């Protein structure tokens, strides 16, 4: 590797010196003229790095790019041996996140600086749109600051849109760390209007120094209204911000319109401020002039309907085809809708989750019982009938002898034109296990081993019960495990239609970073053995310890191709490790759920015999 670096530094056209390492694969270097650069090293087969340079090259070679100063410049890229080196211009202040964290800028009261940044960002995204480039991660980490100028970077997260379509798919999970938008939550897709949403939240972070990523990541946008900027910022700035964070892409203004509006409003404010300085040195008189301007502005622009955040007729009338396709405002009209089941009517009170496969609602029945309703979408009625027969058979079997750790289901039924399947169950105020794990990760906390053991015990109690009833769940994952009173319940039985779609994506190597809980043999054979649930339970156990998925679609494909399973370490006692390694094994070595539950019972009994008042089997090895 050092020889490859030396070859770059002593290249044919340039000689670099003052080498200083600033990261594992990054160096600060200077050329013969004293200009400083950042040099990044990647593997030669790193497609993201290559894509990043290609997109940057397109932007800077475009003769119509009058906003080159708003993008980070990639000066050179060279392939040497097994590596590729990319030379990037150096930004003294670092990224915008670091800039905002600096104590000198902890409070961004400089209104003029912020307005200047808004115009820089809007002009940059306007140029991205014209070049049909969608940047999927515009955040404070991918925007650099140099001498007060903002420069967009992070082109490894960008994508060039070909053809007539201007829509790209975005995985909800791989989008973590970005500004999650309603169209991602509801549809898993974005278009050019996502840039506007991101710029809006960048403004919010700059003005408040509040980081919205975690809250936006868990936000469902069902009962959501946009926040206001702090009162020390002008009404015009707040109005521009509100125009950017409309829920539906069709309602968000285009960058060129926002540039015109911002330039107009900001210049008028500047005139008022200048005149106030000329008229009087009295601070109170200046404030009254500025206040009257704000009030006039508020009367003109803020006197709108309460549902302004849902729609904007001016924008929607000129919405593009892709805007209309991503118009999620209809999804918010589900509220108060009534779904008619076989035994009950379910009135929607809250939309908990919605995606291309299913929607989940909090509902009430005529007798005012609160029920959780899941509605699954299908392409044709035959698929509905197949799954409906299967699930009704499941319901008949589990109602014969209920289990405390399996979700209680009321009924399965087809809806309307028979391309939707609905089923209702008990409500869980504490939500699902994946939400709890997300909150723990956000707060940098962990589950105790005692608690994890309890949860695994409950989970295998549920699985053993189902397997005895000849029922294979097939979709054991944190999202399908619900919590109540320190206990868990397993629900949302794997529906053929949804499972087949997910397995097809694995086969096609799509969504490679999406967490995967399926066992290798289930993906390969498309047939379930009860022990596939044991593998999935092992994946859940690992995630409870590490707060990250054990496998992704990509890593599972590697296991299938190589037939080798390499497991990472978990920090726990030997007994716990042995239990974990027992679950994640090839099919012919993997025990069934009854054997695991029996082993867990033996562990508990042994501890009871050892101690008078044991709290858990973890108290000794």
- 400 in a domain, yes or no? no
Q: With respect to residue 597, please indicate whether it lies within any of the assigned structural domains.
A: yes
Radius of gyration of the chain (CA): 28
% pLDDT > 90, the chain: 17
Per-residue confidence (pLDDT) for residue 184, from 0 to 100: 85
**End-of-domain residue from the set 372, 402, 427:** 427
- 34 with 111, same domain: the answer is no
What's residue 303's pLDDT?
A: 39
Do 231 and 348 lie in a common domain? no
pLDDT band per the 50, 70, 90 thresholds, residue 501: low
User: Which is higher by pLDDT, 604 or 153?
Assistant: 153
Tell me, yes or no, whether 190 and 295 share the same domain: yes
Which neighbouring-strand residues pair with 423?
Answer: 374, 412
pLDDT at 461 over 90: yes
What's the pLDDT at 544? Answer: 94
pLDDT in tens, 56-66: 888 888 777 67
Mean pLDDT is lowest, of 199-213, 492-506, 569-583, for 492-506
Choosing from 275, 290, 325, the residue where a domain stops is 325
Task: Note whether 191 and 320 are same-domain residues.
Answer: yes
The rounded distance, in Å, linking the Cα atoms of 520 and 558 is 10
- Residue 486: band (very low, low, confident or very high) from pLDDT cuts 50, 70, 90: confident
pTM of the model: 0.52
User: Residue 290: pLDDT above 80?
Assistant: no
In a domain, 306, yes or no: yes
User: What confidence tens digit (pLDDT) does each residue in 333-360 have?
Assistant: 565 678 888 788 898 887 777 777 788 8
Tell me: pLDDT of 427 over 70.
yes
- Is it the case that residue 82 has pLDDT exceeding 50? yes
Residues 206 and 79 in one domain: no
What distance in Å separates the CA atoms of residue 211 and residue 415, rounded to the nearest whole number? 41
What backbone phi and psi angles, to 5 degrees, belong to 142? -110, 15
Cα 281 from chain centre: 51
For residue 114, is it within any domain?
Answer: yes
How confident is residue 545, by pLDDT bands cut at 50, 70 and 90?
very high
What is the DSSP-derived secondary structure letter of residue 547?
S
Are residues 585 and 537 part of one domain? Answer: yes
Are residues 148 and 113 in contact, defined by beta-carbon separation less than 8 angstroms? yes
- Assess whether pLDDT exceeds 50 at residue 313: no
| 441 in the same domain as 375 | no
pLDDT in the model for residue 619: 46
Write out pLDDT tens, residues 175-196. 666 788 888 887 888 899 999 9
Same domain, 256 and 218: yes
Q: Does residue 524 sit within a domain? A: yes
Domain shared by 202 and 279, yes or no: yes
How many Å apart are CA 218 and CA 402, to the nearest integer? 33
At 610, is the pLDDT very low, low, confident or very high (cuts 50, 70, 90)?
Answer: low
Residues spanned by the domain of 573: 430-619
Least reliable range by pLDDT among 139-148, 319-328, 494-503? 494-503
Domain shared by 298 and 340, yes or no: no
Kindly tell me if the per-residue pLDDT of 476 is higher than 80: yes
**What rounded mean pLDDT belongs to the chain?**
79
Asked if residue 203 and residue 190 are part of one domain, the reply reads yes
Tell me the per-residue pLDDT of 231-287, one tens digit each, with 9 for 90 and over: 778 777 888 888 898 888 888 888 998 998 888 877 766 555 555 454 445 445 445
Please tell me whether residues 264 and 379 are part of one structural domain: no
SS3 292: helix
Query: Does 260 reside within a domain?
Result: yes
Of 137-151, 377-391, 531-545, minimum mean pLDDT range: 377-391
What's the total number of domains in the chain?
4
**375: pLDDT strictly greater than 60:** yes
DSSP states of 307-349: GGGT--HHHHHT--HHHHHT--GGGGGGTT-EEE-SS-EEEEE
Domain end call among 297, 325, 353? 325
Residue 409: is its pLDDT beyond 80?
yes
Three-state DSSP at 545 gives: helix
**297, pLDDT greater than 60:** no
pLDDT tens, 33-48? 888 888 888 888 888 8
In a domain, 403, yes or no: no
Which residues have C-beta within 8 Å of that of residue 113, sequence separation ≥ 6? 148
- Res 309: pLDDT: 36
CATH of the domain at 47: 3.30.200.20
Domain CATH code at residue 150? 1.10.510.10
**Burial call 42-67: b when 16+ CB within 10 Å, e when fewer:** beeeeeebbbbbebbeebeeeeebeb
Within a domain: 81: yes
Which one has a higher pLDDT value, 35 or 594? 594
Q: pLDDT tens for residues 106-140?
A: 444 566 788 889 999 999 999 999 889 999 989 88
Q: Is a pLDDT exceeding 90 seen at residue 537?
A: yes
Task: Look at residue 274 in the predicted model and tell me its pLDDT.
Answer: 52
Of 103-117, 201-215, 547-561, which gets the smallest average pLDDT? 103-117
Q: What is the mean pLDDT of residues 290-313?
A: 43
Pick the most confident of 133-147, 310-324, 407-421.
Answer: 133-147
Pairing of strands 168-169, 409-415: unpaired
Flag the least confident range among 230-239, 491-500, 559-568: 491-500
pLDDT value at 585 more than 80:
yes
């Amino acid at each position: 590797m050092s020889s490859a670096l030396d070859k770059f530094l002593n290249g044919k056209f340039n000689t670099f010196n003052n080498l200083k390492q600033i990261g594992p694969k990054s160096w600060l270097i200077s050329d013969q003229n004293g200009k400083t650069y950042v040099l990044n090293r990647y593997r030669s087969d790193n497609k993201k790095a290559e894509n990043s340079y290609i997109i940057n090259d397109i932007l800077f070679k475009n003769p119509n790019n009058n906003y080159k100063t708003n993008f980070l410049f990639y000066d050179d890229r060279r392939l040497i041996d097994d590596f590729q080196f990319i030379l990037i211009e150096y930004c003294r202040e670092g990224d915008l996140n670091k800039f905002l964290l600096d104590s000198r800028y902890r409070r961004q009261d400089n209104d003029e600086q912020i307005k200047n940044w808004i115009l820089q960002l809007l002009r940059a995204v306007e140029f991205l749109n014209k070049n049909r480039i969608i940047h999927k991660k515009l955040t404070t980490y991918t925007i650099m600051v140099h001498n007060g100028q903002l420069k967009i970077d992070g082109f490894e997260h960008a994508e060039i849109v070909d053809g007539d379509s201007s829509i790209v798919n975005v995985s909800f999970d791989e989008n973590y760390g970005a500004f999650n938008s309603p169209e991602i939550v509801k549809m898993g897709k974005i278009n050019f209007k996502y840039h506007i949403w991101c710029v809006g939240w960048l403004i919010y972070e700059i003005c408040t120094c509040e980081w919205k990523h975690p809250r936006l990541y868990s936000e469902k946008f069902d009962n959501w209204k946009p926040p206001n900027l702090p009162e020390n910022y002008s009404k015009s700035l707040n109005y521009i911000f509100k125009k950017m964070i409309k829920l539906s892409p069709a309602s968000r203004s285009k960058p060129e319109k926002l540039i015109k509006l911002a330039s107009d409003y900001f210049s008028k404010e500047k005139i008022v401020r200048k005149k106030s300085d000329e008229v009087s040195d009295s601070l109170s008189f200046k404030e009254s002039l500025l206040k009257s301007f704000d009030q006039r502005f508020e009367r003109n622009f803020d006197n709108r309907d309460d549902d302004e955040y849902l729609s904007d007729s001016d924008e929607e009338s000129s919405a593009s085809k892709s805007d209309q396709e991503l118009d999620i405002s209809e999804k918010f009209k589900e509220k108060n809708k009534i779904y008619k089941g076989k035994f009950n009517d379910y009135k929607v009170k809250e939309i908990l989750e919605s995606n291309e496969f299913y929607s989940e609602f909090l509902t009430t029945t005529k007798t005012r019982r609160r029920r959780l309703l899941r509605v699954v979408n299908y392409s044709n009625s035959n698929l509905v009938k197949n799954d409906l027969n299967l699930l009704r058979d499941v319901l008949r079997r589990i109602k014969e002898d209920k289990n405390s750790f399996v979700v209680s289901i009321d009924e399965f039924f087809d809806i309307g034109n028979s391309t939707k399947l609905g089923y209702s169950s008990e409500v869980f105020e504490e939500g699902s296990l994946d939400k709890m794990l997300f909150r723990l990760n956000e707060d940098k906390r962990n589950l105790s081993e005692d608690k994890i053991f309890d949860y695994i015990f409950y989970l295998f109690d549920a699985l053993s019960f189902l397997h005895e009833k000849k029922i294979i769940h097939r979709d054991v994952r944190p999202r399908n495990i619900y919590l109540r009173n320190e206990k868990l319940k397993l629900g949302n039985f794997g529906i053929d239609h949804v499972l087949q779609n997910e397995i097809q994506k694995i086969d096609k190597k799509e969504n490679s970073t999406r967490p995967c809980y399926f066992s290798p043999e289930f993906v390969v054979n498309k047939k379930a053995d009860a022990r596939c649930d044991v593998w999935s339970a092992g994946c859940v156990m690992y995630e409870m310890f590490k707060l990250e998925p054990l496998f992704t679609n990509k890593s599972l494909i590697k296991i299938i191709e190589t037939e080798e399973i390499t497991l990472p370490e978990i920090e726990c006692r030997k007994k716990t490790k042995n239990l974990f390694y027992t679950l994640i094994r090839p099919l012919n070595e993997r025990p069934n759920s009854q054997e695991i539950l029996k082993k867990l019972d033996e562990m508990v009994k042994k501890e009871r015999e050892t101690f008078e008042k044991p709290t858990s089997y973890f108290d000794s090895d």
